[in-house]
């Protein structure tokens, strides 16, 4: 259930928040384009209340005001090479904060903790780097990678009559299964993708369309000359995604990724003892009258070669279902999202990687190796189009996670709820 104190605190101020958000959207815009070079930006700012309840760690069933947001700066350049060929460059720099109710799931507040990964189960973005609890602070230039510039994606493209070839730090094509069907307005709810397939570094990408069929293939390597030849997993990954527009308002998609190596800071890296990652996904998007509906499914696992059989031989496995329903009324866009996922973590305590209960209850301090997390998310949006790329909005987001030990008689449920008003502007 939603925290009643949040509604009480919000009721007298929410109209003011919305008015301030709309006023904030009236800001100078700046863009640049010359000689094939263009610069643009997306900015999001939001204010609201975040509550946390349930079997949290001691003293973390609380509520806080929040002021945060994110931004993205895009730089592109294109050179026409004639004859159907062109060369281009793309750079995307971001700074992001944990979106919506996801911000409630910090390492300190979780019912259990893990000695190897302090943010293991709160991360909506599992292979994310470690700064800022998985997300950068608003105003930082540290985003999805640690560099200060072009930290989200950066690549060069050669477009030909036979398809496009890209080389660089490139978003994995598996994300298309969310982005084309169920993505939220902040592009932040691709939970299955972030957990199972979000590797971008050292990538060679090929894409092409054949009538209504789009093909995306991506090959990635560790590109690490310091690694000896004796490592079991060299650090390589192959992804293939197909999407098909039926021509009747429906788009279908399917994808697979397989990796021989570990994922670290969005790069596939060598694993001396051997590790394999696989994931599969499906999506469908369709128009039903004025309503846009979508569904994304993704499942996968991480399997080290030497993982103890007592933990099932798999370090991590996950299945995610995400649904979207959107409906436009005049200048209003109403969007709703529903997601269900189940994640299984198997960490060997004998190696120092087990879990410890920290909720202050009868089993506080007890340890175990095998953890299941069931996640349910509800996300409701009302956006108003002011024109010129500006949208103030209201949002209600709640996420519930049930943590259950499979080798100890323990379970605990924690809920996070975020009520916010904000604006998005593209300049």
Rounded Cα–Cα distance for residues 294 and 346 (Å) = 32
Count of the separate structural domains present in the chain: 1
pLDDT of amino acid 316: 85
pLDDT of amino acid 114: 85
In the three-class reduction of DSSP (H, G, I as helix; E, B as strand; rest coil), residue 354 is classed as coil
pLDDT of amino acid 32: 55
In a domain, 32, yes or no: no
pLDDT tens, position by position, 93-112 = 887 667 789 888 888 889 99
Percentage of the residues of the chain whose pLDDT score is greater than 90: 56
Mean pLDDT in residue range 313-337: 94
pLDDT of amino acid 228: 85
**Of residues 260, 279, 281, 282, the one with CA closest to residue 271:** 260
pLDDT of amino acid 240: 98
In a domain, 55, yes or no: yes
pLDDT of amino acid 29: 39
**Of residues 282, 275, 318, the one with CA closest to residue 300:** 318
Band of pLDDT at residue 3, cut at 50, 70 and 90: very low
Instruction: Look up residue 275 and give its two tokens.
Output: 């590790």
* Mean pLDDT over each residue of the chain, to the nearest integer: 84
Percentage of the residues of the chain whose pLDDT score is greater than 70: 82
Rounded Cα–Cα distance for residues 111 and 121 (Å) = 10
| Residues whose CB is less than 8 angstroms from the CB of residue 75 and which lie 6 or more positions away in sequence, other chains included | 37, 38, 39, 89, 90, 91, 92
**Of residues 54, 105, 56, 61, the one with CA closest to residue 358:** 56
Residue 349 or residue 54, greater confidence: 54
In a domain, 372, yes or no: yes
Q: Supply the CATH number for residue 136's domain.
A: 2.40.160.10
Band of pLDDT at residue 311, cut at 50, 70 and 90: low
CB count within 10 Å of CB 191 equals 26
| Residues whose CB is less than 8 angstroms from the CB of residue 150 and which lie 6 or more positions away in sequence, other chains included | 91, 92, 93, 169
Residue 133 or residue 300, greater confidence: 300
Band of pLDDT at residue 115, cut at 50, 70 and 90: confident
Find how far residue 140's CA is from the centre of its chain. 18
Q: Which helix H or strand E contains 22, and what residues bound it?
A: helix 14-24
In the three-class reduction of DSSP (H, G, I as helix; E, B as strand; rest coil), residue 5 is classed as helix
| Residues whose CB is less than 8 angstroms from the CB of residue 332 and which lie 6 or more positions away in sequence, other chains included | 382, 383, 384, 385
Least confident of 138-142, 156-160, 282-286, 418-422: 138-142
Q: Are 282 and 297 in contact (CB under 8 A)?
A: yes
Band of pLDDT at residue 314, cut at 50, 70 and 90: confident
Range of the domain at 263: 4-26+39-426
pLDDT of amino acid 229: 82
In a domain, 31, yes or no: no
Residue 275 or residue 68, greater confidence: 275
Mean pLDDT in residue range 146-161: 85
Paired sense of beta strands 236-245 and 250-260, if any: antiparallel
Rounded Cα–Cα distance for residues 197 and 300 (Å) = 9
pLDDT of amino acid 39: 93
Q: Which of the given ranges, 14-28, 92-106, 354-368, has the highest pLDDT on average?
A: 354-368
pLDDT tens, position by position, 211-227 = 999 999 999 999 888 88
Q: Are 72 and 93 in contact (CB under 8 A)?
A: yes
Rounded Cα–Cα distance for residues 259 and 262 (Å) = 8
In a domain, 50, yes or no: yes
pLDDT of amino acid 136: 38
pLDDT of amino acid 50: 92
CB count within 10 Å of CB 293 equals 17
**Of residues 181, 262, 258, 160, the one with CA closest to residue 218:** 258
In a domain, 190, yes or no: yes
| Residues whose CB is less than 8 angstroms from the CB of residue 244 and which lie 6 or more positions away in sequence, other chains included | 212, 213, 214, 251, 252, 253
Dihedral over Cα of 207, 209, 210, 215: its sign? positive
Rounded Cα–Cα distance for residues 149 and 153 (Å) = 10
């Amino acid at each position: 259930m939603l925290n009643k104190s949040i509604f009480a605190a919000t009721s007298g101020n929410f109209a003011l928040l919305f008015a301030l958000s709309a006023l904030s959207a009236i800001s100078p815009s700046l863009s640049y384009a010359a000689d094939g070079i263009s610069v643009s930006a997306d900015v999001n700012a939001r204010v609201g209340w975040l509550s946390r309840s349930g079997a949290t760690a001691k003293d973390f069933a609380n509520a806080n005001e929040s002021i945060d947001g994110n931004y993205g700066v895009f730089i592109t350049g294109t050179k026409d090479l004639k004859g159907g060929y062109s060369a281009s460059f793309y750079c995307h720099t971001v700074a992001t904060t944990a979106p919506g109710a996801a911000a409630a799931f910090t390492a300190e507040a979780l019912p259990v903790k893990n000695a190897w990964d302090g943010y293991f189960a709160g991360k909506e973005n599992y292979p994310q780097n470690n700064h800022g609890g998985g997300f950068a602070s608003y105003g930082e230039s540290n985003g999805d990678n640690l560099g200060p510039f072009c930290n989200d994606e950066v690549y060069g493209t050669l477009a030909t009559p036979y398809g496009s070839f890209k080389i660089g730090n490139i978003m994995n094509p598996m994300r298309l299964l969310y982005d084309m069907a169920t993505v939220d307005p902040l592009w932040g709810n691709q939970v299955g993708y972030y957990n199972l397939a979000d590797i971008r570094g050292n990538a060679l990408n090929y894409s092409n369309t054949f009538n209504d069929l789009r093909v995306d293939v991506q090959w990635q390597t560790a590109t690490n000359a310091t690694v000896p030849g004796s490592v079991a997993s060299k650090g390589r990954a192959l992804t293939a995604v197909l999407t098909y527009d039926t021509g009747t308002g429906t788009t279908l998609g399917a994808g697979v990724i397989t990796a021989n190596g570990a994922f670290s800071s969005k790069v596939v890296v060598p694993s001396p003892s051997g590790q394999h990652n696989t994931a599969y996904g499906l999506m469908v998007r369709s128009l039903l009258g004025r309503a846009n509906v979508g569904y994304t499914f993704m499942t996968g696992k991480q399997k080290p070669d030497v993982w103890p059989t007592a933990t099932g031989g798999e370090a991590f496995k996950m299945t995610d279902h995400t649904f979207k329903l959107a409906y436009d009324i005049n200048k209003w866009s109403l969007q709703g999202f529903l997601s269900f996922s189940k994640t299984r973590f198997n960490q060997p305590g004998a190696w120092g990687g087990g879990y410890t209960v920290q909720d202050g209850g009868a089993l506080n301090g007890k340890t175990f190796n095998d953890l299941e997390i069931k996640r349910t998310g509800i996300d409701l949006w009302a956006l108003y189009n002011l024109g010129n790329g500006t949208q103030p909005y209201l949002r209600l987001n709640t996420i519930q996670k049930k943590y259950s030990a499979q080798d100890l008689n323990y379970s605990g449920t924690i809920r996070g709820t975020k009520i916010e008003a904000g604006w998005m502007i593209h300049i």
